[in-house]
A and B are shown apart, each in its own frame.
Chain A
Amino acid sequence: MSQPFLEIKGVRKAFGDHVVLDGIDLKVERGSITTIMGKSGIGKSVLLKCIAGIHKPDAGEILLDGRKCRQGGKDCGPDAPRLSYLFQQNALFDSLTALDNVALPLVETSRTSQRAAKAKVLKLFEQLDLGDVAQKYPSQISGGMQKRVALARALITQPQLILFDEPTTGLDPQRKNGVFTMVADYQRRFDFTALMVSHDIPEALFVSDRVAWMDRGQMRFVGAPTDLEIARDPALLEFVHHRNELLSDLAGQQGRSTLFANWSELRKTYDQFVVVSCATERRRPGSELGLRRFASYQEAVASVSALPRRHSQIYFLDERHFGLGVEAKDPEPVVDEIENYLKPLNDHAAASHTNTTRYRWSARSYRLSAVPNPSTLWILEDQAELASTSLSS
């Protein structure tokens, strides 16, 4: 295996009695985009600042391209790779124009003359479509544009590593997407290694090669974004599926993390786990999101809850799926019974459907003894949905 470009070994940092980083280990490959996720206030930015040399770690090592850095990312030796930092609030100097802001590191840290520095900045502005804002002050340009100017300042010294501290804070969803696209695009064009802190799931995952999840001062998960699907840590799942957790709270049901916690107990108590799912017969972008889907979901839950038979607590899986454990050796009658209860709902949807989306609720049963964990359940459910879609098409 090749040597990681950035390696963090057992980094520890405390402020007084409050331990923020408690032995962080992380490896970042050259030319990759790695995203660190985690709840607010758990020390993600502190870790970035330790790497940048703004904070000095109490213990541990930071190696940049194999060189041990004495004070964080600063002072890693004479030929060490350059690093830049994109701050959460951009940290642009409000008394300088965009052009002067970007030229500052060149003018102050190299022998480049003012004229040569400005020419270089204007060339970069041209590449980044920032020509219109060169003579404007940060307060005269939009938040998204400020972010691009800050990124231009980070790029001007041609760094090999850029640290992004929550680059989408305070931006609307459209501009957030724009920033992630920009990060991915610039990373390809300028060939730097990116280490990013972000809360934006799933957007950040789309542009990341690796994902790290931090909790209680340590890295609890490091892997590819797709590996999150099979992760089993309830806290990580709660974080990743926070939107589902919100909906489960709104629906008054237990969510995925509870399902993970209760799975062993469920397997002992019940024979089957029935997943009630919603198929959409006609989709229009965005129509499956929002209150319309959720209202339908609540109606389906209400129907199933009215079953005059024993059933366990209903678990919210997502806005298209919920599940419940049942005591029945034979799955067929159970599924039929639930589908009977969902029939009026489907009939009503069929009668009143508009040109947007028509829902059809159905049920599938899984033998609990054959499903070791909920992750397997998602895989089986995905396969079943895929098969039914192929058959229907």
Chain B
Amino acid sequence: MIATAGRYTIDSIHELGRFSIFVTRSLVSLWGLRAVVAKVTRSIFEMGVRCTPIILMVGCFTGLVLGLQGYHTLSRFGSEYVLGATVSLSLIDELGPVLAALMIVGQAGSALAAELGIQRNSEQIDALATMGIDPLGFFVGPRLIAALIVFPLHTVFFDLIGIVGGYITGVVLLGQQSGVYWQSVHAGVQMHDVCGGFIKSLAFGFTVIAICAFEGYNTHRRSSEPGVRGVSQSTTRAVVYSSIVVLALDYVITTFQVAAR
């Protein structure tokens, strides 16, 4: 059992090392790449457009539920006037970055892992290498940069639509005064909350896209079964690992943020 635990630990460290090299090489290879801006723009378009509808939908429902739950809980203590602050802080500090990241993982991350897995299996990645084009720079680097732009943007969309969702529940459905809601939002949200959410979205974006790309890119090496099943395994692993990492990172970053206040 100790031997198994030791082997597992060594394998994990080894894998972490490979992951670090993969990310570093992906970023470094951007220097030699032609038309980087065009490639990053295309990645932003693919990732952003693909995920925007689902981000808006989930953000709206999250805000609606937060407004409903928050109003009833706060009204027990006679504090329903802070509904705006409760909804907005919950979204900006925690739920916005986390849920937006999880939605992007499910939508764009899984697609990226599957795409790279298929390209690996059909030797398209090897073909690039034989043409003298670095596949990491071509496929992964632009997407990592795009993630740094798309994730904060999507988090902002998620937060805004969520706050509007809270407004719909609290003001339109439950009859709170509109001015009270917006005043509470204005008073409750501080700059460090916005910055905290922004930092989280940057960290989540970079990490999950790197994980999804790593899993897809290494489909041939890590899958116990080749072909379609290998791609399916890689995609599943990419989504599971990314989701776990998002929640774990959220805890770590929040701990530092709380300690810094």
Query: Residues of A at under 8 Å CB distance from B?
Result: 49, 52-54, 74, 83-85, 87-89, 91-93, 104-105, 107-109, 153, 157
> CB of B3 within 8 A of chain A?
no
Contacts of B35 in A (CB 8 A): 107
A105 and B129 contact, CB distance less than 8 A: no
B130 touches A53 (CB 8 A): yes
Tell whether, in the assembled complex, residue B131 and residue A91 are in contact, meaning their CB atoms are under 8 Å apart: no
Is the pair A109, B123 in contact by a Cβ cutoff of 8 Å? Answer: no
Query: Which A residues touch B127, using CB under 8 A?
Result: 85, 87, 91
Return the contact of A105 from the options B33, B123, B126, B131 (Cβ within 8 A): B131
Cβ of B186 under 8 Å from chain A: no
Contact of B130 among A84, A89, A92, A107 (CB under 8 A): A84
* B130 / chain A contacts, CB cutoff of 8 Å: 52-54, 83-85
Residues on the A chain within 8 Å of B33, using CB: 108
Judging by beta carbons under 8 Å apart, are B132 and A105 in contact?
A: yes
A85 to B127, CA, bound (A): 7
Let me know if B9 is at the binding interface, CB within 8 A.
no
Minimum CB–CB distance from A6 to chain B (whole Å) comes to: 15
Which residues of chain B (82-137) have a CB below 8 Å from chain A? 122-124, 126-127, 129-133
CB A156 to nearest CB in B, in angstroms, measures: 9
5 extra A-B contacts, CB within 8 A, seeds A87-B126, A91-B122: A52-B129, A89-B123, A104-B131, A104-B133, A105-B131
The chain A residue with its CB closest to the CB of B119 is A93
Which residues from chain B contact A108 at a C-beta distance below 8 Å?
33-34, 131, 133, 138
* Residues of A contacting B126 in the complex (Cβ-Cβ under 8 angstroms): 49, 52, 54, 85, 87, 91
Q: What are 26 A-B pairs at a CB distance below 8 A? A: A52-B129, A52-B130, A54-B129, A54-B130, A74-B129, A84-B131, A85-B126, A87-B123, A87-B127, A89-B122, A89-B123, A91-B122, A91-B123, A91-B124, A92-B124, A104-B131, A105-B132, A105-B133, A107-B34, A108-B34, A108-B133, A108-B138, A109-B132, A109-B133, A153-B131, A157-B131
- In whole angstroms, what is the CA distance A84 to B123 when docked? 14
- The range of chain B's interface size is 10 to 19
Question: Hey, which chain B residues are within 8 Å of A52, CB to CB?
Answer: 126, 129-130
> What residues of B have a CB within 8 angstroms of the CB of A157 in the complex?
131
Chain B residues within an 8 Å CB radius of A89: 122-123
CB-defined contacts of B122 to chain A, threshold 8 Å: 89, 91
Task: Give the A-B pair count, Cβ closer than 8 A.
Answer: 46
Chain B contacts of A92 at CB under 8 A? 124
Nearest chain A CB to B143 CB, angstrom units: 15
Report Cα–Cα, A153/B130, bound state, in Å: 11
A198 to chain B, nearest CB (A): 17
The residues of B that contact A83 with a CB separation of less than 8 Å are 130
Nearest 5 A/B pairs, CB to CB: A91-B127, A85-B130, A105-B131, A91-B123, A108-B133
Closest to B133 in A: A108
Residues of B near A84 (CB, < 8 A) are 130-131
How far, in whole Å, are A108 and B29 apart by their CA atoms in the complex?
Answer: 13
- Point out the residues of chain A lying under 8 angstroms from B131, CB to CB: 84, 104-105, 108-109, 153, 157
CB distance from A78 to the nearest CB of B (A): 13
Name the residue of chain B whose CB is nearest to the CB of A88. Answer: B123
Per-position contact with A for B15-29: 1 when CB-CB < 8 Å, else 0?
000000000000000
List of A residues within 8 angstroms of B34 by Cβ:
107-108
Taking the nearest CB of chain B, how far is it from the CB of A91, in angstroms?
4
B98, chain A: closest CB distance, angstroms? 32
Q: A74 to chain B: which residues have CB within 8 Å?
A: 129
Taking a contact as CB atoms closer than 8 A, the residue among A49, A85, A93, A109 that contacts B124 in the complex is A93
**How far is A52 from B138 in the complex, measured between Cα atoms in Å?**
19
Residues of B within 8 A of A107 (CB): 34-35
Select from chain B the residue with minimum beta-carbon distance to A85.
B130
In the complex the two chains form, what is the Cα distance from A191 to B206 in whole Å? Answer: 47
Least Cβ distance of B176 to chain A in Å?
50
Contacts of B133 in A (CB 8 A): 104-105, 108-109
Closest partner residue, chain B, to A82 (CB atom): B132
Contacts of B129 in A (CB 8 A): 52-54, 74
**Chain B residues, CB < 8 A from A54:** 126, 129-130
- Cα distance, A297 to B133, chains bound together (Å): 57
Q: A92 CA to B131 CA in the complex, in Å?
A: 12
CB of B180 to closest CB in A, whole Å: 52
CB distance from A259 to the nearest CB of B (A): 40
Nearest Cβ on chain B to A154's Cβ, whole angstroms: 9
Q: How far is the CA of A104 from the CA of B133 in the complex (A)?
A: 9
Min CB gap A174→B, angstroms: 25
Kindly state the separation between the CA atoms of A148 and B187 in the bound complex, as whole angstroms: 67
- Kindly provide the distance from the CB of B30 to the nearest chain A CB, expressed in whole angstroms: 13
* Alpha-carbon gap, A104 to B139, bound state (A): 14
* Interface-centre pick from A88, A104, A108 (highest chain B CB count, 10 A): A108
Q: Which residue of A lies closest to B115 (CB)?
A: A95
In the complex, what's the smallest C-beta–C-beta distance from B40 to chain A, in angstroms?
15
Most buried by A among B33, B124, B133, B138: B124
Q: Which residues of B contact A87 (CB under 8 A)?
A: 123, 126-127
